Amino acid sequence: MVIPTLFQLASKAVAQGIDDRKIEVKIILDTESSNAVFRELLKLYPENIRRLKEFRNKLKVDKMDLKKCRIDEEDVLNIQGINLRSLTLGELSQLRDEFPDWYDGSNKSINIVSLLHRLMNKNSRKMMTHLGISGKQEFGMGWEKHVRHFEISVSRKPIRYGYNAHRIIGALLADKVRMQSLEFLDCSLTSVTEHELRGFIEVHPKLETVVAIHTECEKGSIREINVLNNSSVENIIKSLEYTLLTNNEMLSKHCMFHIYKLFETDHEKLQDSEIDDCLKTLCHVLRHGSKDISVVKYTAFTIFAEAKFFETNRFIALFSSEIPAITTLFYQTGRSMKYNWMRKYVFPLLVDIFERTVNSVTFGRLIPTKFLNFLMEETISMMVNRHATPRQGLGILEKLDRLMSWEQYQVISRNFEMIGKLFQLVDNSHFYYYERIIDLAAKFMQKEYSEDMSYIQKFNIVFQYFKESPQMRLLKVLRHLTGMMSENQLKECYKEDVLEVLKSYTKDDCSGQEIGMRFMAISIFCLLLAKNVIADRESINSRIKKFCIDMDFSHFALDHGHIVNMILASKYSTNDCIVFAIRSIEKSSKRLDGFKEVLKTLKNLLDGRFGQYKKKTREYAEQVYIKCKNNQ
């Protein structure tokens, strides 16, 4: 569990500079630096193996991990010119034609012995201490016996062999291959039984560590040596650390699955210390895992978002003080994921994590103010960016609202950026959620908690905010409140000073966003006329008439059916109010919420009291009704 050293960071920076061709290596680097820079070059882009000839005289490389490289015949020649102590090969099937196994009639296997002879020069054979083959290519029968004929020294460090997925341990035992200095063996993903593994260990007395992940002996335990498998919590964690170190995504996912099982079904059997170690391991994956193992990180999100342990009282009791830091780490890691497609799948899990975090707080416990701000701001951001649904996001915000102290309301009320984002939700939410959005915004702006606020209080708070920061969405909020209020409440809110402010947004000479503001102000005036709460009806109606003549409704038609219904159903609506509503029906069509109810109201109007309106308006209404009815 270590953070990157300055040497590792410097190696990455130099490799990036070389890859971008911004840095030219003018001196020969020492072996350790050369190995580190070359390793980072291959991580950035495996095709950098093609530049080996260019680097050969500048980088003294003696270790090569080519698991992710598909080498060709030219690469083989370039590798042969380098004196190597360690070599790990990846997929080799592309070399089948250059190194055919003449004894294989199916032409599926490769002559690995011939390839290794070509890859390793005389010095490499003497110096070699690690040889790994991790690809899926089949090798000819009996190739293991020929490995003994290489001039490989075993007097320095132990040789480490990585094998492809065949019964390689059984084959080595059958052919009596012995590697007396062998100390480390990785036989993951091979078909090895516990009996075979024990037999192999008996004839290799210096063997200290065996990695047996995803094998038949994955749950077994051999006391004589250190076995990395998934037989215990300690072993699962060690195995995961090993797979992360070797960048083996498949095996890392396998280990993460076992951690998921621990948190999902086996957590009651675990000691507190084991749970703590597992949780620290998840956090380690997020903090220090390479961006290339995004799938493994995604698994960590799945565990924390879905495993049952994280909903238990035991989790809350053990980690209540650490939950803010853990949640913040998950969120920041999710936002910084390398691939867009991965972030798309991570955000729903982040919403679940936020919900679990909020639900873990019991009444009487105070959320730290800094963490409270973080949860609220990021929840709103996820809603604005459509990563969280209004139902999910508002559920989190409303729970946080109930948990806040008076002092925290004071802090939130000064967070104008967050309140502004909260009002943005009006732009992309169904009007069904308006009431809840407005409730939250009004509570935060009034600087204290109130269980129940009147529409008048909400209106006054939002209108004051609108005067300080005029926005079309705030007029949309005011329009919603206008539709919800009674006649007496409207008279209390829409006094002369308020009407004058709204009139200032109905001027003819407007452009851009001002047009949208004018539309919203006109729609509010239509509602006020329909509810008969304005004394100066003629002046206001003239503004509505002028707007209907001037404006194209294509982009600004009413999209909320309940507002259109109020205008159509009221006997106080003027002829120009009706025209405004009908034009909205014509242009919005099926985009209207409650479209069927709107058509029903329009039909009732045509059948009933349309006589009070102009003949031309009635004919227009009939045309729109027939057109919409036919398009249903």
Q: Is the pLDDT of residue 106 over 50?
A: yes
Q: Is the pLDDT of residue 450 over 80?
A: no
What percentage of the chain reaches a pLDDT higher than 90? Answer: 13
The pLDDT confidence band at residue 143, using thresholds 50, 70 and 90, is: low
DSSP 512-556: THHHHHHHHHHHHHHHHHHTT--S-HHHHHHHHHHHHHH--TTTT
Give me the chain's average pLDDT, please: 80
Which residue from 75, 81, 90, 77 is spatially nearest to 61, judged by alpha carbons? Answer: 81
Q: What is the mean pLDDT of residues 493-522?
A: 85
Residue pair 177/144 in contact (Cβ under 8 Å)? The answer is yes
Model confidence pLDDT, tens digit, residues 327-383: 999 988 888 876 676 777 888 899 999 999 988 887 677 888 899 889 999 998 888
Q: Please report the pLDDT score of residue 306 as a whole number.
A: 92
For the chain, report the end-to-end CA distance as a whole number of angstroms.
63
- Residue 161, beta-bridge partner list: 131, 185
Coil, strand or helix at 355: helix
Q: Please report the pLDDT score of residue 152 as a whole number.
A: 43
Q: Which of 82-91, 380-389, 605-614 has the lowest mean pLDDT?
A: 605-614
Which residue from 218, 226, 231 is spatially nearest to 201, judged by alpha carbons? Answer: 226
The pLDDT confidence band at residue 553, using thresholds 50, 70 and 90, is: low
Q: What is the mean pLDDT of residues 207-226?
A: 83
Boundaries of every domain in the chain = 1-59, 494-630
Q: Is the pLDDT of residue 154 over 50?
A: no
Amino acid identity of 514? E
Q: What is the mean pLDDT of residues 92-120?
A: 73
What distance in Å separates the CA atoms of residue 346 and residue 333, rounded to the nearest whole number? 10
The pLDDT confidence band at residue 434, using thresholds 50, 70 and 90, is: confident
Amino acid identity of 214? H
Q: Is the pLDDT of residue 459 over 50?
A: yes
User: Which is it for strands 226-228 and 209-211: parallel, antiparallel or unpaired?
Assistant: parallel
Burial 82-111 (b: 16+ CB within 10 A, else e): bbbbbbbbbbbeebbeebebeebeeeebbb
Write down the pTM of the prediction: 0.61
The pLDDT confidence band at residue 412, using thresholds 50, 70 and 90, is: confident
What distance in Å separates the CA atoms of residue 138 and residue 22, rounded to the nearest whole number? 41
Q: List the structure tokens of 213.
A: 């992940």
Q: List the structure tokens of 237.
A: 């964690």
Q: Please report the pLDDT score of residue 414 as a whole number.
A: 78
What distance in Å separates the CA atoms of residue 441 and residue 424, rounded to the nearest whole number? 11
Helix axes of 513-530 and 496-503: crossing angle, nearest 10 degrees: 140
Q: Which of 126-135, 259-268, 562-571 has the lowest mean pLDDT?
A: 126-135
Cα dihedral 76, 128, 292, 298 sign: positive
Q: What is the mean pLDDT of residues 159-182?
A: 61
The pLDDT confidence band at residue 1, using thresholds 50, 70 and 90, is: very low
Which residue from 476, 546, 464, 485 is spatially nearest to 516, judged by alpha carbons? Answer: 476
What distance in Å separates the CA atoms of residue 129 and residue 328, rounded to the nearest whole number? 44
Please tell me which of 428-437, 578-587, 602-611 the model is most confident about, judged by mean pLDDT. 578-587
Q: Is the pLDDT of residue 93 over 80?
A: no
Which residue from 482, 487, 481, 486 is spatially nearest to 437, judged by alpha carbons? Answer: 481
Q: Please report the pLDDT score of residue 159 as a whole number.
A: 41
Better-scored residue on pLDDT, 2 or 3? 3
Q: Is the pLDDT of residue 147 over 90?
A: no
